[in-house]
Amino acid sequence: MIKEIKDECKVKMEKAIVSLKSELNTIRAGRANPKILDRVVVEYYGTPTPLNQLANISTPEPRMIMISPWDAKSVGDIEKAILKSDLGLNPSNDGKIIRLVIPQLTEERRKDLVKVAKKTGEDAKIAIRNIRRNANTSLKNAEKETLITEDELKTAEADIQKMTDAEIVNIDEIIADKTKEILEV
């Protein structure tokens, strides 16, 4: 009983960390990163389709993303989708390939991106704490139903707290790395 609750808690915390990392990958840090296009959805023959399923995305230079659509007819649709997205990038299109030049970030924009990264980190910490609370609630219910003893409850709660503390430290490290990446000139 206790092991299942702890295992479930650990899996959920790991998913929260994976979610945080993928969320942070979409924050533009002044260097070309194809992951910033993960949220771009293209209206392709009337069907919303993720951009990465319509084209090869590469970074030939540190400040450029190159999008090579597999269907040359979709170039215009891809360009429209990028313009509609909140990325703030202007695509240049030669009929076959779309190039996105990543502009240098201003100091003010960098500070805004750091705030966004920190908020994302705080959201992840809240998710981790909610997972801890749910696990502790499950343990207390098991104790009320006399499935576990009070001593087992205390030990399990302490173990879950250790897991929570470790993940919070992990989140702080991830956010510190992202902040450093954003502030690099």
Which letter does DSSP use for residue 106 in this model? P
What is the domain partition of the chain in residue ranges? 1-28+106-184, 34-101
Model pLDDT, residue 28: 67
Say yes or no to pLDDT of 113 above 70: yes
DSSP 39-72: T-EEEETTEEEEGGGTEEEEEEETTEEEEEESSG
Q: Cα-flanking dihedrals φ and ψ of residue 41, to 5°?
A: -115, 130
Interval 127-140 mean pLDDT: 94
Instruction: Give the separation between CA 116 and CA 35, rounded to whole angstroms.
Output: 17
Q: Which residue has the higher pLDDT, 62 or 13?
A: 13
Pick the CATH number of 34-101 from 3.30.70.20, 1.10.10.10, 3.30.1360.40, 3.60.20.10: 3.30.1360.40
Residues 108-113 have a mean pLDDT of 85
Higher pLDDT, 176 or 112: 176
Read off the pTM: 0.71
- What is the CATH T-level fold of the domain 1-28+106-184, as seen in this structure? Topoisomerase I; Chain A, domain 4 (1.10.132)
Q: Are 171 and 121 in contact (CB under 8 A)?
A: yes
Answer yes or no: is pLDDT of 114 > 80. Answer: yes
